[in-house]
Structure 1
Amino acid sequence: MRRRVAVVSGGGTGIGAAIAGALVGDGYDVLIVGRRSEVLEATAQRSGVEWGRSGAVRPVTADLTDPEQVGRVVDALAGRKVDVLVNNAGGRRGGGTGTLADVAAYWRANLDANLLTAVLLTEALLPHLCRPGGRVILVSSVAAQRGGGGAYSAAKAALHGWAYDLAVELGPDEVTVNVVSPGYVADTEFSGERTTPEERARQVAGTLLGRVGTPEDVAAAVRYLASPAAAYVTGQVLGVNGGSVFGR
């Protein structure tokens, strides 16, 4: 039988690495994509050891804001079909004050990191998606639903509208498109860089479950959407936030 293939952007650390590990555990061969080759190599080796599947995770170093570098992912597929595409790359970019040029640079940096990376990678891989049965999953943020992140919130919210259009486009081919929207997740570079103990306590207090999220919580949601059990789920935003924001 053909071994299933998944592509996970931002797959070197945190949520992306957890998603890659979960998919390897489900039998996928996984391409993890990111800008830092050493981080990707270490994650690929660790995942292979943990699941006893050496070589199941392959790193692809590419800056997904650069259309020419996106082609490296297509090359790495070597003609194989993609069963699951997880657009997880992104992050909050600083700036935005001072001159209008500063504001423009701040907005462009956040849109590039969180929206354009997903658009370019998805467009490049659309011809390679399995039809029927392919899955496109976008990792957003609770900031898209409640604000508080400036240009980052806007960029993540843009993923939602684009996902709806993509779901309409790919629905006739029985390819599903969904968004996973995490709340505060500990043990990631994103949270570790900015979170004080006081902020962490505030985030916990804002949940209904009284705890922070983990990368594995988000990976479990992605794993569900990638599975046959979610074959009739498309055009949806799945919140993984401990109840800090209700579904709408």
Structure 2
Amino acid sequence: MPERLAVVSGGATGIGAAVAAGLAEDGYDIIVVGRRADLLAKAADRIGAECGRPGSVEAVPADLADPAQLGRVVEAVGGRTVDVVVNNAGGYLGGDSSTLHGVAAQWRANLDSNVLTAVLLTEALRPALRRPGGRVLLLSSIAAQRGGGGPYSAAKAALHGWAYHLAQELGPEQITVNVVSPGYVADTEFFDGRMTPEGHQRRVDATLVGRAGEPADIAAAVRYLASPAAGYVTGQVLGVNGGSVFGR
């Protein structure tokens, strides 16, 4: 089998690490990108060992909202072809919303973290994408579809519109672009210690399957969309949320 390469942002923990591990299991070499160098290096070593291919996962520390740092990822790719780009970096960023300056800062931070990181990484790697057969994947959120996250919801919803545009641009080159939109996934840093037992149960009760999601659930969706089997799927938002929000 020819060498295949996937680049996963936000790959140190949670969903990103699960996605990287799943794609490594599928035989991809992986570049994981994130801001926290220590956690990223540990994740790369662990995933490489678990898939039985030590050294197949490379850690590249970079803040993807800073255009000057994208060169680190491009350099790590070198002259290789990129089969899959998974834009997972992001999260909810709070702030002081008591002033207009605070509101502006919070909105810019959330847009930078969730949208600009995806745009810049994808654009940086766009020339290297496999033609035909490349895959671009964006990680959104149930908050984009039902609200409740203020600037975070708006930022994740912006990914949907951009994905539709990008799918139109890259489709003629047989590169697909899709969004995976997770619901409540318990085992992540997203809530950063803020989740109460009551909040957890309320989110579980909102599903039709009676359980919280796991990072592996999201990774499974990404693995499908990254696979040759999904070559006729593009411009779609795939909700992975236990039925708490229906597709439309």
**C-alpha offsets along residues 156-190 of structure 1, whole Å, 9 cap, x if unaligned?**
00000000000000000000000000000011111
**C-alpha offsets along residues 105-124 of structure 1, whole Å, 9 cap, x if unaligned?**
00000000000000000010
Aligned to 1:10: 10
Aligned to 1:184: 184
Aligned to 1:60: 60
| Mapped partners of 2:196, 2:56: distance in 1 | 37
Aligned to 2:44: 44
**C-alpha offsets along residues 168-213 of structure 1, whole Å, 9 cap, x if unaligned?**
0000000000000000001111134321111000000000000000
Partners of 1:180 and 1:218 within 8 A in 2: yes
SS in 2 for 1:213: coil
RMSD: 0.8
| Mapped partners of 2:104, 2:193: distance in 1 | 24
| TM, length-normalised to structure 1 | 0.99
Query: 1:236 aligned to 2:236?
Result: yes
State the one-letter code of the partner of 1:160.
H
1:2 CA drift (Å): 3.1
Gaps of 5+ in 2: none
Aligned to 1:137: 137
Partners of 1:96 and 1:104 within 8 A in 2: no
Aligned to 1:72: 72
SS in 1 for 2:64: coil
| Mapped partners of 1:96, 1:178: distance in 2 | 33
| TM, length-normalised to structure 2 | 0.99
1:234 CA drift (Å): 0.1
SS in 2 for 1:189: coil
Aligned to 1:110: 110
SS in 1 for 2:63: coil
| Mapped partners of 1:229, 1:181: distance in 2 | 20
Q: Write out aligned runs for 1:191-230 (5 A).
A: 191-230=191-230
Gaps of 5+ in 1: none
| Mapped partners of 1:239, 1:195: distance in 2 | 22
Aligned to 1:101: 101
Q: Percent identity?
A: 71
| Mapped partners of 1:121, 1:191: distance in 2 | 25
1:51 CA drift (Å): 1.1
Aligned to 2:20: 20
1:96 CA drift (Å): 4.5
Query: 1:92 aligned to 2:112?
Result: no
